[in-house]
Amino acid sequence: MNQASDAPFRPYAPGSQPPLDAADYGSTQKRHPISALVRLPGGHTATELTAPRFSPARYPAFADLTAPGGGKALGERIIVAGRVLDEDGRAVPGVMIELWQANAAGRYDHTRDQHDAPCDPHFHGAGRVFSDEDGRYRFITIKPGAYPWRNHHNAWRPNHIHYSLFGSGFAQRLVTQMYFPGDPLLAFDPIFNATPDTAARARLVAGFDLDVTQPEWALGYRFDVVLRGRGATPFEEGRP
Amino acid sequence: MPAATASQTIGPYWHLLEDPSWADLTRLGAVGERIALIGNITDGDGVPVSDACVELWQASPPASADWDGFGRAATDVEGNFRFVTLKPGPVPGPPGANALQAPHGAITLFARGLMIHLQTRVYFEGEALNKQDPLLASLEPARQATLVARPEGERDGLPSWRLDIRLQGVGETVFLDI
């Protein structure tokens, strides 16, 4: 298997990614290109195969979102932990993960959020962590609330935490959302449901995990993230 | 093993992450040919995209202690973005291919209404290598022009280059299947 650092990244698996033109998500209507995306004639180059290396020394980690400035955020404290892996199941170390979310009442600490729900002076809702040598990461936050949006009549976003990840090549760049198990709003959410493949959608939902849960303190959720792999797929491997 | 995790939109509230100093790629002290890269983003109706997250990544100049080649800018209410950066040099082609690409940077767009990021490139008008760049050469002239920034003279103390981005319709920017 060609997994050298200059090996090209694999194409996305069919159905694993949402389309740019997602009919049920109104904001995509005027924002998706009409022309087909263009492939690089010779494949990936240094621009796609390499990526910025963010060091925690320069971009400090901020792994406890519940206590900015010493106050205590309102809401249900939770622990989220998981691993960053590639498509071959190998750990991806040194990944910078940026996080942001609404507060427990379903309101973002953002001037454009006018939802009639209280702000929390002790919760900003942004964090940054790095994956370790085994690809593991962990942060502490407040379970975000659901909130209404204007996509369609009576539209509500399910509880979610936004993730932004940088891998070892810019072709691995990923922005996604983590959802919570058992959320009844998932069935009605056009953003969650835009991804065609059922299994790919299911992997956007974190699992409740008693091993991540800290006794007498906070519930724990597990959420693993998979970045694109390099080189031939295992399926192609071994073929003449 | 499962496929790569599905992308989801960055949404309208990504600014909780924003550090405006990141729009200056020379923020760590890198020295070289400093330029401003400015542009305006519009949608299929010509309406400014005022909530986009624009990222600029350059493999050239190579990374060093005072240069990580990466920046991020928010569009303003009129859809404008502005980076300060170092003008890139030629970039090697695909591994094994003995060819140089013209100087360029990777531009990545995230926004409400983009379920997965849009990826494009910025090249610079007047570069000798533009004529033989594999990507530019593969495009008809009108499409090619959507990837080439033009000089706008000195603005706010820096030589400025403009690349406007149209998400959809007439003059639609070339977006890449990376």
**pLDDT tens string A53-104:** 998 999 999 999 998 777 899 999 999 999 999 999 999 999 999 999 999 9
Taking the Cβ of residue B64 and every Cβ of chain A, the question of whether any pair is shorter than 8 Å is answered with: no
The whole-angstrom separation of Cα B104 and Cα B106 is: 7
Which residues of A have a catalytic role annotated? Answer: 108, 147, 157, 160, 162
Residue A237, pLDDT above cutoff 70: no
Domains of chain A by residue range: 54-226
Q: Which CATH number fits domain A54-226: 2.60.130.10, 3.40.50.2000, 1.10.3720.10, 1.20.120.1200?
A: 2.60.130.10
Q: How many CA atoms lie less than 13 Å away from B7 in the CB half-sphere?
A: 26
Model ipTM value: 0.97
Residue B81, pLDDT above cutoff 60: yes
Q: Which residues of A touch B101 (CB under 8 A)?
A: 45, 47
Q: Tell me, what's the pLDDT at A3?
A: 55
Q: Which B positions 98-117 lie with beta carbon below 8 A of chain A?
A: 99, 101, 104-106, 108, 110-117
Residue contact A234–B1, C-beta within 8 A: yes
**Of A166, A139, A141, A133, the residue nearest A61 (C-alpha):** A139
Taking the Cβ of residue B139 and every Cβ of chain A, the question of whether any pair is shorter than 8 Å is answered with: yes
The whole-angstrom separation of Cα A67 and Cα A231 is: 43
Residues above pLDDT 70, as percent of chain B: 100
Return the minimum-mean-pLDDT range out of A106-110, A236-240, B120-124: A236-240
Mean pLDDT for the stretch of residues A135-147: 98
The whole-angstrom separation of Cα A49 and Cα B140 is: 26
Residue contact B178–A201, C-beta within 8 A: no
Chain A: residue nearest B16 by CA? Answer: A126
Domains of chain B (ranges plus CATH)?
Answer: 11-166 (2.60.130.10)
Sequence length of chain B is 178
Residue A1, pLDDT above cutoff 80: no
The whole model's pTM is what?
0.96
| Cα A168–Cα A174–Cα A179 angle in degrees, nearest 5 | 135
Band of residue B96 on the pLDDT scale cut at 50, 70, 90? confident
